């Protein structure tokens, strides 16, 4: 929390000082400026999940084995609050560029859920853990106005969204059905760390509706990514196993709604709703490293240190956010 308070405070201080620096623009009005600059800060609630599934054909150092899919699943909650900062520039009401960042404020994210299928379609293991999340996003796009009639204008553009997650899990509770007898185990302390990155280039369509002499505007939008990439690293501390996955996908869809009201002084308020769905497919490589928790198994030969093999991997995520913001708009 302390790491975010300082940059957030500085951002808000700069935002508060902008009106006095550009007070001369008030008399000319927003609509008469060829270049319009918007600076905004806010916060929002983030909801959703990201999950990783593995299975399929195992290609290992000891041979091949055909598993079903999925054989295992990790589902991480994305329940957090995020600070956001954004700056945008509009040129001659034709071309715009914007860039924004988001950073998580709250670390507790809910229960991580782990599932295992001992047979096709038969879930034989389930576990949950307390999870903590650190997330940082950046989003930059360029858009051009291609049509305007009355209150409606239509923009086409392209951009790039980057998401970075660091999730730690602790206090494992595991239920397992082995040899027909159910069992439960409880392990306190940290059991897993998970790092995930999404790289999402996209194209976008943005209808914009303006009313009240451009003071009130509503923006809706649809974004599509033709090539999303995902990389993740799952460090399962209890087994001394690190799994590294890479995937690509062509099914990333994003929708948005934004309402904005600009006062006569140039200060504006925003309400935003965003939705994202993505799916990637790839390969996960698994490695064992030496630790006190698996030393006996490595010495006994039941597992081998280093690279062991690879499986098919699928990442899926669904995200919803609700954002409130305040900013200042001025012209040059």
Contacts of 16 (CB under 8 A, 6+ apart): none
The model carries a pTM of 0.87
DSSP H helix total and E strand total for the chain: 3, 15
CA atoms within 13 A on the CB side of 170: 8
What is the pLDDT at residue 10? 38
- Count how many Cα atoms sit within 13 Å of the Cα of residue 85 in the half-sphere of its side chain: 13
pLDDT in tens, the chain (332 residues): 444 344 444 344 434 444 443 444 343 344 457 899 999 999 999 999 999 999 999 999 989 999 999 999 999 999 999 999 999 999 998 999 999 999 999 788 999 999 999 889 889 999 999 999 999 999 999 999 999 999 999 999 999 999 999 999 999 999 998 666 788 999 999 999 999 999 999 999 999 999 999 899 999 999 999 999 999 999 999 889 999 999 999 999 999 999 999 999 999 999 999 999 999 999 999 999 888 777 767 767 777 778 999 999 999 999 999 999 999 999 98
CA angle 203, 160, 164 (to 5 degrees): 135
Quick check: bond before 158 cis, omega within 30? no
CA distance 293 to 191: 11
Cβ proximity of 139 and 103 under 8 Å:
no
Domains of the chain, first to last: 2-331 (2.40.128.90)
Q: What are 199's strand-pairing partners?
A: 162, 229
């Amino acid at each position: 929390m302390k790491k975010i308070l300082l940059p957030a405070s500085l951002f808000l201080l700069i935002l508060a000082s902008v009106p006095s620096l550009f007070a001369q623009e008030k008399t000319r009005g927003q609509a008469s400026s060829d270049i319009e600059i918007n600076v905004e800060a806010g916060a929002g609630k983030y909801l959703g999940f990201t999950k990783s599934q593995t299975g399929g054909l195992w290609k290992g150092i000891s041979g091949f084995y055909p598993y079903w899919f999925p054989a295992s699943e990790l589902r991480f909650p994305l329940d957090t609050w995020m600070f956001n900062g954004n700056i945008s520039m509009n040129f001659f009401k034709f071309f715009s560029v914007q860039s924004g960042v988001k950073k998580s404020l709250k670390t507790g994210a809910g229960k991580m859920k782990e599932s295992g299928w001992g047979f096709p379609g038969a879930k034989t293991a389930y576990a949950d853990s307390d999870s903590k999340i650190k997330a940082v996003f950046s989003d930059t796009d360029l858009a051009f106005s291609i049509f305007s009639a009355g209150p409606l204008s239509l923009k086409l553009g392209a951009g790039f969204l980057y998401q970075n997650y660091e999730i730690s899990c602790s206090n494992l509770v595991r239920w397992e059905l082995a040899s027909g007898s159910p069992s439960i185990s409880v392990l306190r302390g940290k059991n897993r760390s998970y790092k995930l990155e999404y790289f999402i280039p996209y194209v976008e369509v943005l209808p914009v509706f303006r009313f009240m002499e451009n003071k009130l505007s509503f923006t809706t939008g649809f974004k599509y990514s033709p090539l999303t990439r995902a990389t993740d690293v799952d460090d399962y501390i209890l087994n001394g196993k690190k799994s590294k996955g890479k995937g690509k996908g062509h099914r990333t869809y994003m929708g948005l709604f934004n309402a904005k009201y600009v006062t006569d002084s140039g200060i504006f308020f925003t309400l935003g709703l965003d939705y994202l769905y993505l799916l990637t497919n790839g390969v996960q490589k698994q490695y064992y490293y030496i630790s006190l928790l698996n030393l006996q198994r490595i010495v006994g030969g039941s597992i081998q240190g280093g690279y062991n093999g690879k499986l098919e991997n699928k990442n899926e995520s669904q995200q919803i956010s609700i954002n409130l913001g305040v900013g200042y708009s001025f012209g040059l």
